[in-house]
Structure 1
């Protein structure tokens, strides 16, 4: 609800800003008129039209009286110069202002008023009222009155129709719009025909521009008809109420409109810069990921070169802890994949955390076949408690922690523990792959694991700031676990919490891409939402718990300033802003040029595809899922952004999120069995 309200407010602000900037209902040049001419009485009368006693009244200015009128603005470039010229010659003029520009430059509106000039309406957006319907025309005029009330405390009866000149050139459609305004109480001010002599009195019309400033200077310095009186339209015709002060509710409403436009313009400008910044930061992140991934590849290949110095293979016995809660769909396949390991000796400790299905019975059946399996049963206490129980039964100094649905490659354990030959390494992250990737949702998650998670882990490895050893496959030095106090139950992301604690304690955490385990990804959007909601909320908890790493020295500070900052920017801040950016992108697509917006999107997608090709190649994966990537950007990524938004809102409200466990179906195991050998 809060997100929906925020997006609605953002959309409203963009629409209001776009309307005032002519992005919605854009300003266009007046088309050539092919409509019938206005009535002869209008075309042959004076340039000022008003209603008196229900009848139309047409008026000329007195002889040798000139009303200088300027259309548009106020503009910070030409309006001050024009006011200076008028002041130098002690002349007064009438400014027909557009409401949007008046709201944007209130100081200039007040200067026009304070220097004795008159203010009229030129509509809010310089709209051609002959093309606009009655409702749009009323909106244009009302918004202009509000803008003038909010900036100068004035209302006006004077109106000049945009894109018109003298009454002699009015067509029927323009007169219809003008007649509606006259009937509403406005005084319609056109200009005298150019051939009308100034000595007879005239209304001169200028479109606000630097050229108008020069023309005004020439006219005032050297009037062609000798001494003339330069005045305002209202003063020249004796209209005492042409412009009038307003107060009370009208001024308050005007102030609100002006403030709303200011906020809307600021928001639109901020969103423009935000999109630019987000694009630059995202591109920089991709460049960083691919560059560091290349460094990681060189390190791995360099360590495997023939003749390169390598320590002897680590063959120490390993304890594998398998926490299991209602994992009957996959527990047997998990245990048999572990028993098929090529590592010399593996102790397997299954901790049944109060399962209500056949998890315990299936695990016991495997234990009966192989004594390396131990099954421990406890009341349901959560995954962290189950892992700690498993640690208490572990016999060896190297501990591998996995999920109850994970299927290991035969050489995964052997490859996973090799980095522990370095005494500085306290934990190793393996390479988790999605097993059930047949549908579109499965392919999206497969791409996310390969492009996102694994590229990130390569970068974290090189920068020595790994924030998470995934619960699906991770190896730990028992000494490091003891120094961290075991697996904490403070957060819902116990794997992230534990990894951060190890980094702050000075242990290195590395990534071993060749250690592969297969996991079952959520098969429905509902399950995916629950899983990612828990992951994201738990990560936020862990980041907050370890926030002091930002100011620590040594390994802890390196992790905090690199790892925590990265998580805060790319996994929290940008996703929080993404819905607003999406609203702005849709706005730009609709109103700011579809070609440009589409070009930016295609360019961004091309970069993503290039990165995906590289990431898939690094992981030795097929390119077939790439066809789903554009749709993933449009749909799946937005879903992940909303998960982050909900998680942050939950955290800010202080709500306690309960454990959300995914319903397993065994589809990952079935998919692996169907794959060709």
Structure 2
């Protein structure tokens, strides 16, 4: 059996890896989306004055086009009566198409300095821009001021934008405009090294002569006025097609074009200016001929991003001056660019979908808390009324069945607790093929305790369901209590547990399972989970008459009801959930008795905890699938299908699977949105959970000191439970099978002295 369990565990490893990969993929998608949206927009940034002593005077006083021909800084001016119309911060799905339509209508070319993250999100707009005959340049990937970034960050900003261009339009470019730049006289000692470095890599840096300041939204007339150069001078003029609300820009642009044409101006691109200043031979070779760099740099590629995989001697498009700054992307650059665009497309679809899922999960979680608190309070008040009773007191003897497999550490403590029972019982220990002397220890414990009401039945190893069925068949009384071999009862537990059977419609009773080894960190986390999650849930389900599970640690059944539904089934790993649903469908009522308490030994290591919860989660899914036809059951026996099944699926499977969205979006918001607001929201959710947990502890008369562990539980323990559930879902979807696995016990849970 150990070899079989080992093989089964080995088969689960790929599914664990797949679960972790899914979580990693989700994290990567969120990080990519956050990175795409970081820093974009906001041209209002004003840099404090800085020295420009390192910048050559002829650059500060020169034209708006800066190249480093032969390693020497050279600036070019726009010829008189010529406008190089430039647009920053795009593309934008609202404003860029309108700008393109205006330029097409007036047959005017533009030079668009594009933000890489926006290119990645709207690649179709970039392709339209290039195909229309416009020119494009790099405006960094996240619209960050490169003057204050490391060299590695600067390289990433440029290369990633070039990859985005390659993926969107199949080109790279030699043009660059720095975010937050203006005229050349604003170059300082912080920004000058950036332009020098990029110039050495083959980039042409483009500044402005005239700024429309359209981002201020001053009105159409002022935009047109501010964009107009004085005295017939040529100018590199700045507009924006993204980064904010640009309706005034759209209205002003045609008026501006008409006004400038009326003044005798012509429109060109940055490359057009360079061609006119240096001569067409330097920038517009015949199609198919070796093309030199538009800045006269002998065909040097635009850095590693512009040049990687590109053919330096091939011009894009028709090879005209309008497209001279473009390079055809190929090789690794092209494929990496397309991969980037594809990844962004996935992120663009995934994140909004997850946002909707987050809202649904948030509503479900809060709704569940509200429902649990309301119904648990009502349940508590009903069951603790002075006049409440199930009927005549149940005093007849009952059979206690203890299935045991290698329980040498615990079985003596279990029998010792039963020896103190205030209710008449017979004890049936079913030794399921133990190899550690469990049956001998049980015999010896019974003799030493003077228990004449103990029978030990040995069987070949066949599993817990078979052991329980053997015990039921051997039981001498009409009520059977089932408990685990690592569990101990309080003296009054059995008496409390069987009282609901005074109602002839009750077929099974769930008891109140407590974590006995709660003084470790893992034990404390499980203690909180048991009190808050399991027992509040059971109060709610009891009131709704759709209890989904009788815990294996403590449950009582009418023997005839167990036999009626065919006993404990081996079809699932959650035989307790399976039989509980079966009893609902057979017309029996299942209730919760919070005063019947059992103390169980919870897993003491993360590995054992994972194994246990994985089995529970997977077994619950198996049981729900087995009883899926309960959804169409009619009459009183169909109540579980109508009420319980949807609640269990929503609250115990769907919501927990997607609950990590809360944590993922919290981290996402802290990094990319608003740290303080995200932290406050997370603390608010934690406070809500603490209130629910505190109320549950109050109902169960538990000490509140364990709640100090709850914040850490949310950060670590809960994430593990998410992974366990995802692992279980993957196993279920892939048709995997899981065997019972024995947990290691220590026997540290002794005869209880009461709640601690």
User: Could you say if the C-alpha distance between residues 24 and 449 of structure 1 is closer, same or farther in structure 2, counting changes exceeding 3 Å?
Assistant: farther
Does the 8 Å contact 1:328/1:358 carry over to 2? yes
The answer as to 2:439 corresponding to 1:360 is: yes
Does the 8 Å contact 2:702/2:755 carry over to 1? no
**Residue 129 of structure 1 is aligned with which of 134, 146, 165?**
146
Partner of 1:274: 357
Partner of 2:421: 341
Partner of 2:289: none
Q: CA deviation at 1:404?
A: 2.0
Does the 8 Å contact 1:23/1:592 carry over to 2? no
Distance 2:260 2:572 in 1: 83
Q: CA deviation at 1:610?
A: 0.7
Distance 1:134 1:214 in 2: 40
Partner of 1:36: 52
Distance 1:562 1:425 in 2: 18
Does the 8 Å contact 2:52/2:187 carry over to 1? no
Q: CA deviation at 1:125?
A: 1.9
**Residue 586 of structure 1 is aligned with which of 667, 683, 691?**
667
**Residue 205 of structure 1 is aligned with which of 224, 238, 253?**
238
User: Could you say if the C-alpha distance between residues 325 and 666 of structure 1 is closer, same or farther in structure 2, counting changes exceeding 3 Å?
Assistant: same
Distance 1:366 1:14 in 2: 58
Distance 1:27 1:526 in 2: 53
Does the 8 Å contact 2:584/2:637 carry over to 1? yes
> CA-to-partner distance for each residue in 1:289-329, whole Å, 9 max, x for gaps?
11111221232134x42xx6862222333122122223333
Q: CA deviation at 1:64?
A: 1.1
Does the 8 Å contact 1:468/1:500 carry over to 2? yes
Q: CA deviation at 1:193?
A: 5.8
Q: CA deviation at 1:94?
A: 2.0
Gaps of at least 5 residues in structure 2 are 1-16, 212-227, 276-282, 284-320
Does the 8 Å contact 2:390/2:499 carry over to 1? no
Tell me, what secondary structure is at the counterpart of 1:510? Answer: strand
Partner of 2:305: none
User: Could you say if the C-alpha distance between residues 197 and 647 of structure 1 is closer, same or farther in structure 2, counting changes exceeding 3 Å?
Assistant: same
Q: CA deviation at 1:27?
A: 8.8
The answer as to 2:562 corresponding to 1:460 is: no
**Residue 158 of structure 1 is aligned with which of 160, 175, 178?**
175
Tell me, what secondary structure is at the counterpart of 1:502? Answer: helix
Does the 8 Å contact 2:408/2:441 carry over to 1? yes
Superposition pairs for residues 223-622 of structure 1, below 5 Å? Answer: 223=260, 226-238=263-275, 239=283, 240=321, 241-244=323-326, 246=328, 248-249=330-331, 250-302=333-385, 304-305=386-387, 311-343=391-423, 345-365=424-444, 367-368=446-447, 369-555=450-636, 557-578=638-659, 582-622=663-703
- Structural RMSD (CA): 2.8
Q: CA deviation at 1:114?
A: 4.1
Deviates more, 1:89-98 or 1:384-393: 89-98
Tell me, what secondary structure is at the counterpart of 1:277? Answer: helix
User: Could you say if the C-alpha distance between residues 669 and 153 of structure 1 is closer, same or farther in structure 2, counting changes exceeding 3 Å?
Assistant: same
Distance 2:647 2:88 in 1: 52
Does the 8 Å contact 1:168/1:193 carry over to 2? no
The answer as to 2:203 corresponding to 1:186 is: yes
Q: CA deviation at 1:430?
A: 1.1
Distance 1:321 1:103 in 2: 65
Distance 1:116 1:252 in 2: 24
Q: CA deviation at 1:450?
A: 0.9
> CA-to-partner distance for each residue in 1:66-93, whole Å, 9 max, x for gaps?
1221211122333334334444544332
Deviates more, 1:59-68 or 1:354-363: 354-363
**Residue 257 of structure 2 is aligned with which of 211, 220, 240?**
220
User: Could you say if the C-alpha distance between residues 661 and 81 of structure 1 is closer, same or farther in structure 2, counting changes exceeding 3 Å?
Assistant: same
Q: CA deviation at 1:675?
A: 7.7
Q: CA deviation at 1:494?
A: 1.8
**Residue 98 of structure 1 is aligned with which of 115, 118, 121?**
115
Provide the aligned length of Structure 1 versus Structure 2: 671
Deviates more, 1:259-268 or 1:359-368: 359-368
Distance 2:134 2:40 in 1: 32
Does the 8 Å contact 2:182/2:207 carry over to 1? yes
Normalised by the size of structure 1, how large is the TM-score?
0.91
Does the 8 Å contact 2:41/2:89 carry over to 1? no
User: Could you say if the C-alpha distance between residues 457 and 139 of structure 1 is closer, same or farther in structure 2, counting changes exceeding 3 Å?
Assistant: same
The answer as to 2:86 corresponding to 1:5 is: no
Distance 2:744 2:145 in 1: 61
Q: CA deviation at 1:458?
A: 0.9
Does the 8 Å contact 1:64/1:201 carry over to 2? yes
Tell me, what secondary structure is at the counterpart of 1:431? Answer: strand
Does the 8 Å contact 1:319/1:400 carry over to 2? yes
Deviates more, 1:273-282 or 1:449-458: 273-282
Tell me, what secondary structure is at the counterpart of 2:519? Answer: coil
> CA-to-partner distance for each residue in 1:632-656, whole Å, 9 max, x for gaps?
2222222222322333334444443
The answer as to 2:77 corresponding to 1:63 is: no
User: Could you say if the C-alpha distance between residues 27 and 556 of structure 1 is closer, same or farther in structure 2, counting changes exceeding 3 Å?
Assistant: farther
Tell me, what secondary structure is at the counterpart of 2:556? Answer: strand
> CA-to-partner distance for each residue in 1:75-123, whole Å, 9 max, x for gaps?
2333334334444544332222212222322343344334443322222
User: Could you say if the C-alpha distance between residues 88 and 484 of structure 1 is closer, same or farther in structure 2, counting changes exceeding 3 Å?
Assistant: same
Distance 2:605 2:581 in 1: 31
Distance 2:556 2:347 in 1: 53
Q: CA deviation at 1:9?
A: 2.8
Q: CA deviation at 1:455?
A: 0.7
Superposition pairs for residues 644-655 of structure 1, below 5 Å? Answer: 644-655=725-736
Gaps of at least 5 residues in structure 1 are none
User: Could you say if the C-alpha distance between residues 475 and 29 of structure 1 is closer, same or farther in structure 2, counting changes exceeding 3 Å?
Assistant: same
Normalised by the size of structure 2, how large is the TM-score?
0.82
User: Could you say if the C-alpha distance between residues 26 and 43 of structure 1 is closer, same or farther in structure 2, counting changes exceeding 3 Å?
Assistant: closer
Does the 8 Å contact 1:451/1:616 carry over to 2? yes
Deviates more, 1:27-36 or 1:593-602: 27-36
User: Could you say if the C-alpha distance between residues 385 and 117 of structure 1 is closer, same or farther in structure 2, counting changes exceeding 3 Å?
Assistant: same
